[in-house]
Chain A
Amino acid sequence: MNWLIRFLKISRNQWPWMGAGILLGVVVVAANAMLMAVSGWFIASMAVSGSSGVAFNYFFPSAGIRFLAIVRSVGRYGERLVTHEATFRNLSELRVWLFRRFIPLSPACLERYAGGDVAGRLRADVDSLESLYLRIIAPIAVGGVSIVSALLFLLWISPPSAAVMFLFLTMAGVALPWLVHRLSEEPGRVATSLSAQLRSKVTEGVQGVEELILLGAVERQAAVVDHLSEAVISKQLSLGRINGLSLAGSVLFAGCGVAAVLLTGSMQVVAHQTAAPNLVLLLLFSAATFEAAGLLPAALHLLPAARESATRIFDLADAPIPVPDTPVSLVRPAGGRICFTDVSASYLPGEPVLRNVSLIIPEGGRAVLTGSSGVGKSLLLEILLRFRTYEGSVTVGGIEISTLPKEILMDMIAVVPQRPHLFNGTIRDNILLGNRAASEDQLQQALRDSCLDLWVAGLPLGLDTAVGVNGSAVSGGEARRIALARALLKDAAILLLDEPTEGLDGETERRLVSNLAARFGGDETTTLLVVSHRPACLALGDSIVHLSSSKEPLRDI
């Protein structure tokens, strides 16, 4: 239940909206039940009055019926609006809360989240948390409050009926959902894992279709897909049957409940403990109450998955900050001299990647770091960005970076990471991220230096072209160059480039390297550190450093 309390705490500003939504929900359920109950009581009283000749004041009930009809339909519209309003207001709070929590955790903690598929998992978990109120909290609260109030109302009119209704409502609203949950746990889990397998086989087939054709293996892969699809569907079929069982159960309990109320109500009428027309009221009210109980199974069914998602997210949000920030510092680094002394570091504890690495790049120096994949070239850059912890000493401008607030350090560094992220916006938005105050001239210069000018000029919308989700609308090489333009625009004291020419053809690579060499050739203040194993990039450095996987330290070539 901790996760639920946590959720409610985060959304405390929205309690009025959430409460109003639930209240309106209860009003609608009550109006619905009362509409039928009062109508039934009204016609029974009219019939009794008609046959016995005893006068009946029909003015009040018939006005009441019309009133309830309007309350019910208008209330329902209002309830839907208010619950959705509450949901979206919650979404705002949650997103800001999550984002602020995630900032210090990135990237070391986030990348370990849910075994790699960070984006997919996170999307599903956040979605589930965002709809927690609408799909789970509100229906359960409305159903619960309605059932309790209905029972209290019945207790007032006819205690024996309240007793039997309590029995059948518990069966329909609590026991049945519990049984359904137990039954569907296993097929549900299997269906999820089979779906993941199916997805991965379909992905292979779609991405590898040409090779499958040439290998003559298309039909074999299709048979595997068919087989998995059949397995998934058969599990979905069992889930459908269990759903049928749940539905059948609630119909049966509702029928039994109404039959039982018929008996208890008749007993009371016979014993003159209640007026005869009240029997109709009891029957119709009970039948309507079972409709309210029908809200519960669907919501309870979603509860376990929501709990898992919420727990996962809160665990992540509570994870210890991998590289804690330093609050304040009075000293500022003087210049961009970088000095690694005896640095050891790893991605995962117990699997050291860098051991006792020492490296000095003087201010204004240009170093190219080479070495085969996996020896920790990128890790070295991430240490400098304070994304990872390290042993040994790393100084920038003579100051140990672990004693520097991240903000000051980041002011000095621009970077093109191994996998730069393009935000879902225009090319201009993405480049200006480097320096929002940049002038048009600076922007054009950055475009020219990163060999983007001709490409952008050829686009119908130019810099206002959208890059798509995760840069899906541009090629990998284009994305990398956009990230390069972004980094150049920042004009920082230190520039880190991780494989800046990956995914470029030879000609563009040559042009890019010569642009960068020209830009930084006479620059005595910018310190450049390039990670690459492309021969063309060697021209960027005044020193070349080879990092090898053995324990031997770095050597200059």
Chain B
Amino acid sequence: MTEQSEGKADDGERRGSSAESWLFAEARNIRLLLLSIVSLAAGIGLLVVFQAHLLAAACQRIIMQGEGLSAALPLAALLVVLAAGRSLCSYLLENRSAAAAARVKQSVRSRLYRKIQALGPAGLAGEEAGPLVETVTRGVDELEPYFTRFLPQLSLAALLPFMFLIFVVPAEWRSGLVLLFSAPFIPLFMILIGRGSESLHRRQWNRLSRMAGHLLDLVQGLPDLIVFGAAKTEAQTVARVSEEYRSATMAVLRVAFLSAFTLEFFATVGTAVVAVIVGFRLLSGVLTLQEGLFVLLMAPEFYLPLRNLGLSYHARMQGVAAAERIAPLLAQPLPEGFAGSLMPPTGPPAVLFEAVSFRYGSNRGGVAGVDLELQSGRITALAGESGAGKSTLARLLVGLARPESGRILINGQDLASFQPDAWRALIAWVPQTPFFTSGTLRENLLLGRPDAVDAQITAALEAAAASFVNDLPDGLDTVLGERGAGLSGGELKRLALARAYLRQATLVVLDEPTAGLDPENERLVCLALERLAVGRTVLIISHREETLLQAHCVAEMIDGRIERVVPSAEYLAPLGAA
């Protein structure tokens, strides 16, 4: 078990480093913006040097030379001017950072979304929709701090301390040496401790996130807990899991905070040592107060970029975590599509599957050596248990996936030789859960045929037994909620059929058009099916009797093979008897 999780941690580190190289590559696209960010920050650094210099000079003149307000006033005015300059630079810097973030996010999101669309479910085997959506939306947002905080801080940590040393060493080289030699320890210790906590964190991650979501899990399942009389006892589980969550997280944090501690410790002690050295040099009279104070003021500034880098560690982790999801998606090769140039036939096509196999990695839901004929202008039904490969066969037919072996002939010609867009234009496909966009009914109906006029829409609605739309207060302008919320399952099915009707396709593929419907809705949908089938080649996946009755023949699938093809009456006969 330990070895296994060790292995996982190593694996995590490898993924992290490739994600980081992707982030660097993305940074190249905004290098000018990043350059302006770093220059502005360096400019601010210079202003800090001047400010320290001014303060030191003011103290020298007032304390050591006994000058009065006349000396302080112009210096104070200069300080205000410097502060205004720093303030302006800070504003510009934040501005540039925000612009850089915007550029990266827009470009990555646009590419990522299109890539996911291009990959399609076939290319994304096993990926669930929820996490994908999360990656495209919040995941892309989480890249921001990497580019706006971590990368600039990284270059500043390399640049600013040396810039400050150039000013410090001429004033007091001993203090300069203290700073110079204490500095390398900081990143060294940080890296050592940071690595330790990172792998600890990775190993605990799953467990921690599960405990973090524990309360929500129980609240969502409260009705079930109540029914099984477990609600009261689960309150104790909440307390116990929260306690475990606390001690596990604190164990990680105790180590994780050590790296920040190292940094603070070196920075603070370094500053204190400089103060003491400077003090004794002043006492012996070899240094002026101006020089000494300047060096003291610069000491914390010297460590500040390193401390900021330490603080941006979280920004880096967040960015890398997001990149670990995004980069592999963007790098995935596109599935091989078909790219022929032939124009498909205009009439209802005759389809012939010849020894078609498709397994997409898993052994569930694939098809093997399928031979099947769909007669032109007729309804063929596919029946069989779930996981028998019915949906896969349908997706191969419409061209969403390509057979691994065998071919699909359309009027005697290989499907792969057709021009893909032209082929798709001939197809109306109604999957198990039809797609609806949040928008008006009209927008949804027009998805497949943007140029249809209202008369055509009305005709399609009528054919699909979906005239209920006319009874809605807003008719076609009724706004559908997300995923079609607001209409019943049966109504949505009929709308999907209307959309298929409107598309004027010659090949219609329906996946479980009547599943989950009550008898009344099933009757209406079957009625719509009958009208839709006229003059078209139709493939229906179903195991509902009422629906199978309409087919000319039923092909039964078992374990990815066609078991038998029989007239629908013959298929249904034994069922009726049983």
Contact = CB atoms under 8 A, between A and B. Distances in A.
Contacts of A480: none
A85 B226 contact: no
Contacts of A215: 447-448, 503
Interface in B258-301: 258, 260-261, 264-265, 267-269, 271-272, 275-276, 278-280, 282-285, 287-289, 292-293, 296-297, 300
Contact of B62 (A214, A259, A266, A506): A266
A263 B450 CA distance: 73
The residue in B99, B387, B435, B448 that gathers the most chain A C-beta atoms within 10 A of its C-beta is B435
A49 B92 CA distance: 45
Contacts, number: 417
B84 interface: yes
A420 B240 CA distance: 25
Contact of B136 (A202, A262, A434): A202
Given A96-B239, A211-B435, A263-B73, A269 B62 contact: yes
Given A50-B285, A241-B95, A39 B435 contact: no
A386 to B, nearest CB: 9
Contact of B213 (A204, A216, A415, A469): A469
Given A213-B424, A258-B79, A374 B113 contact: no
Interface string A316-328: 0000000000000
Given A110-B219, A195-B137, A76 B227 contact: no
Given A50-B282, A203-B482, A505-B385, A424 B214 contact: yes
Given A203-B133, A244-B91, A210 B120 contact: yes
B106 interface: yes
Interface stretch (B1-9, B17-25, B515-523): B515-523
A210 B64 contact: no
Interface stretch (A5-13, A98-106, A302-310, A336-344): A98-106
Contacts of B395: 210
Contact of A84 (B98, B250, B297): B250
Given A106-B226, A533-B518, A47 B64 contact: yes
A410 B229 contact: yes
B454 interface: no
A119 B543 contact: no
Contact of A240 (B72, B97, B113, B400): B97
Interface string A229-256: 1100110110111011101110110111
Interface string A111-146: 000000011001100100000000000000000000
A457 interface: no
B63 A248 contact: no
A373 B91 contact: no
Given A91-B245, A421-B221, A237 B99 contact: yes
B257 A80 contact: yes
Contacts of B136: 202, 206
Contacts of A247: 90-91, 94
Given A49-B283, A373-B489, A533-B518, A80 B90 contact: no
A486 B228 contact: yes
A375 to B, nearest CB: 9
A99 B219 contact: yes
Interface residues of B, number: 148
Contacts of A428: none
Given A62-B279, A279-B63, A209 B120 contact: yes
Interface stretch (A217-225, A361-369, A444-452): A217-225
B296 A43 contact: yes
Interface in A493-530: 502, 504-508
A335 interface: no
Given A49-B283, A533-B518, A99 B218 contact: yes
Q: How large is the interface on A (under 10, 10 to 19, 20 to 34, 35 or more residues)?
A: 35 or more
| Chain B contact surface mostly | helix
Given A42-B279, A44-B63, 5 more contacts: A47-B282, A50-B283, A76-B264, A99-B238, A202-B137
The 7 closest A-B pairs by CB, nearest first: A255-B83, A240-B98, A244-B94, A208-B435, A421-B221, A88-B246, A39-B275
25 contacts: A50-B285, A70-B269, A73-B265, A76-B260, A76-B261, A91-B245, A103-B232, A103-B235, A204-B436, A204-B438, A208-B437, A211-B435, A213-B120, A216-B425, A236-B101, A240-B97, A254-B83, A255-B86, A259-B77, A262-B75, A263-B72, A266-B62, A373-B490, A373-B518, A421-B224
Interface of B: 51, 55, 58-59, 62-64, 68-69, 71-73, 75-77, 79-80, 82-84, 86-88, 90-95, 97-99, 101-102, 105-106, 109-110, 113-114, 116-117, 120-121, 128-130, 132-133, 136-137, 141, 210, 213-232, 234-235, 238-239, 242-243, 245-246, 249-250, 253-254, 257-258, 260-261, 264-265, 267-269, 271-272, 275-276, 278-280, 282-285, 287-289, 292-293, 296-297, 300, 383-387, 395, 398, 400, 421, 424-425, 427-429, 431, 434-438, 447-448, 450, 482-483, 488-490, 503, 516, 518-521, 543
Interface of A: 35-36, 39-40, 42-44, 46-51, 56, 58, 61-62, 65-66, 68-70, 72-74, 76-77, 80-81, 84-85, 88-89, 91-92, 95-96, 98-100, 102-103, 106-107, 110, 118-119, 122-123, 126, 195, 198-218, 220-222, 225-226, 229-230, 233-234, 236-237, 239-241, 243-245, 247-249, 251-252, 254-256, 258-260, 262-263, 266-267, 269-270, 276-277, 279-280, 283-284, 371-374, 385, 387, 406-407, 410-411, 413-415, 417, 420-424, 433-434, 469-470, 472, 477, 483, 486, 490, 502, 504-508, 533
